[in-house]
Amino acid sequence: MTTLTSHPLASLLESLFAQADAATSPVVAELSEEERTRLMHSKTEYLDFYGRLKDLWLSVSRETGTLLYMLTRSTRARNVIEFGTSFGISTLHIAAALKDNGGGRVITGEFEPSKVARAREHFAASGLGDFIEIRQGNALETLAADLPEAIDLVLLDGAKALYVDILERLESRLTQGALLVADNADFSPDYLARVRSPTSGYLSTPFAGDIELSMRLD
Ligand SMILES: C[S@@+](CC[C@H](N)C(=O)[O-])C[C@H]1O[C@@H](n2cnc3c(N)ncnc32)[C@H](O)[C@@H]1O
């Protein structure tokens, strides 16, 4: 058995995913495809965009959650950084893996105070709070200092246009073999160009439809 598939996390995640599935999204429905694409690519309007989405879960899929657990376990990760907490679904998968690895910490950044409050409730209910540090504020600042010396895995799932900026804050600390999991990276062409460049120091591939999975080579 794993922490992911045992009580209390398994039933908590079932309930959280069910709530996420049931949540309707009038804000997103009101946006034209064109406007949504523009906002997703914008480096200046993300505060307004995510502010409008503050009641939405926007969580990773069940499959991506399981994948995050597996990658965190198989790399024997100890230190994980997450950009974009929302209500904490992805964080819980990573924290479960850290517990099953024998210890570690996921530092996760979120700027919406109401989301941070909800995520904290879910972390408390999971019993995994000791493995999670949530930093409230713009991740461009909160994930720029007081970081672990060695980072084993990064989940990029906040404003897509900031993926390169966040990577630059973490890059010097990535261990050899560290994994970057970037959700919906298609909205971040500069990030894809960076990790796919033959001279970038990464091996990178699209994976599972909406993820870019990259490995630090040196
Ligand atoms: C796609 S959701 C994250 C979903 C979460 N990883 C999960 O699977 O449950 C993206 C989140 O990133 C937050 N966000 C976006 N840009 C941010 C920034 N610059 N700093 C902190 N949080 C940010 C948004 O408020 C939103 O809650």
What atom of ligand 1 comes closest to residue 184's alpha carbon?
Answer: 1
Q: How confident is the model at residue 66 (pLDDT cuts 50, 70, 90)?
A: very high
Measured in angstroms, how far is the CA atom of residue 5 from the centroid of ligand 1? 25
Q: Is the CB of 162 under 6 A from ligand 1?
A: yes
User: How much is the pLDDT for 29?
Assistant: 67
| Residue 85 vs residues 95, 129, 146: alpha-carbon distances, Å | 12, 14, 18
Q: Is the CB of 163 under 6 A from ligand 1?
A: no
User: How much is the pLDDT for 37?
Assistant: 82
Measured in angstroms, how far is the CA atom of residue 9 from the centroid of ligand 1? 22
pTM score over 0.85 = yes
Q: Is the CB of 138 under 6 A from ligand 1?
A: yes
For a mutational test of ligand 1's pocket, the pick from 68, 87, 111, i.e. the residue with the most ligand atoms closer than 8 A to its C-beta, is: 111
115-118: Cβ within 8 A, 24+ apart? 115/54, 115/85, 115/86, 115/87, 116/85, 118/87, 118/88
Could you say which DSSP state residue 144 is in?
S
Measured in angstroms, how far is the CA atom of residue 158 from the centroid of ligand 1? 4
Residue 215: name the closest of 206, 207, 201 by CA. 201
pLDDT digits (tens, 9 = 90+) for 149-182: 999 999 999 999 999 999 999 999 999 999 999 9
Per the CB < 8 A criterion, the answer to whether 156 and 163 are in contact is yes
User: How much is the pLDDT for 61?
Assistant: 94
ω into residue 8 within 30 of 0, thus cis? yes
